[in-house]
Amino acid sequence: MNGQTPPDMHLVQGTTRIATIVGHPVVQVKLPGLLNRHLQQQGADVAMVPVDVPPEGLAAFFRLMRHGRNLIGSVLTIPHKQAAVAHLDVLSDRARALGAVNVVRRANDGTLHGDHVDGFSFLAAARAHGFHPRGRSAVVVGIGGAGSAIAYALCEIGVARLCLLGRNAERTRAFGAKLQAWFPAVSLAYVCTDLAGVDFLAQATPVGMRAGDPLPLPAALLDTLRAETLVADVITAPAVTPLLELAQARGCRTQAGVEMARASMAFLGGILGLMPAVDPAAFVAAPLPSSTI
């Protein structure tokens, strides 16, 4: 290091307010690097720190958050988005509907407020590729914390046809029944035999994070993929998953997980008080700029 501080290293000191990103594992997360560079450029005395907390330690982590007066909140990643709900005091309407959160803000009195903006962050990234959900067709693979949020956001913004593909058929149909009740105009399906005509394919499982993982969909189904489909993956590492590599070979536009991380900064930063507040649903629902259409 030659005694020199790297130019993008955030100097943490006694006055620094701390936000965390909590998961198990956390080696793959990109948000701390993105957010800390932004905060440093703004001269803000705030830093985001990744914390690897196994499921059995989650309750203790939230007890610490309640009492840590320089802790402003936390972003939640796998596998904690659903389990975190039981430890919070206040939930947004969408977090309550989803039964999951991806961001928790600590109020000055120590109460913990949860929200879920993963779905809108994912769709905000898709805007850059010219995708708007209204009137379109989408497939979501995986109905966990991220997948359910993406499906909810697609329905809220006006997707016409949505297919949910989850490993647990009973759980997937139960969530679909809730979506149908909330958004009766959406045509829902649970089986997909042909990806031709699908505008948006969202991969929201951990499949693809580890070397040797299989593709998240059967090869026969992926053979029906057409170049008109935008294929998006929540996984941030590797940057190009096997699914995205296959989609690129077929001429599809692709959206990597890091794009969602970048798009989430404004939403998460607003909720945590690090940036001006942005309404995620209003941002995604706005008409596309003419340059992306």
- What structural domains does the chain harbor? 17-116 (3.40.50.10860), 119-259 (3.40.50.720)
> What digits encode the pLDDT tens for the residues 20-76?
999 999 998 888 998 999 998 988 999 999 999 999 999 999 999 999 999 999 999
Q: Pick from 136, 259, 276: which is nearest to 197 by CA?
A: 136
pLDDT at 293 over 80: no
The pLDDT assigned to 96 comes to 94
Identify the active-site residue in 17, 30, 80, 81: 81
Lowest mean pLDDT among 224-233, 234-243, 282-291: 282-291
Between β-strands 90-91 and 112-115, what pairing exists: parallel, antiparallel or unpaired? parallel
The pLDDT assigned to 90 comes to 98
Decide if 102 contacts 76 (C-beta within 8 A): yes
Q: Nearest 10 degrees: CA dihedral of 203, 204, 205, 207?
A: 30
> What digits encode the pLDDT tens for the residues 184-228?
999 999 999 999 999 999 999 999 988 899 999 999 999 999 999
pLDDT at 8 over 50: no
Using CA atoms, how far residue 152 sits from 10, 162, 172, 195, 218, in Å, is 36, 10, 13, 21, 25
Is 30 marked active-site? no
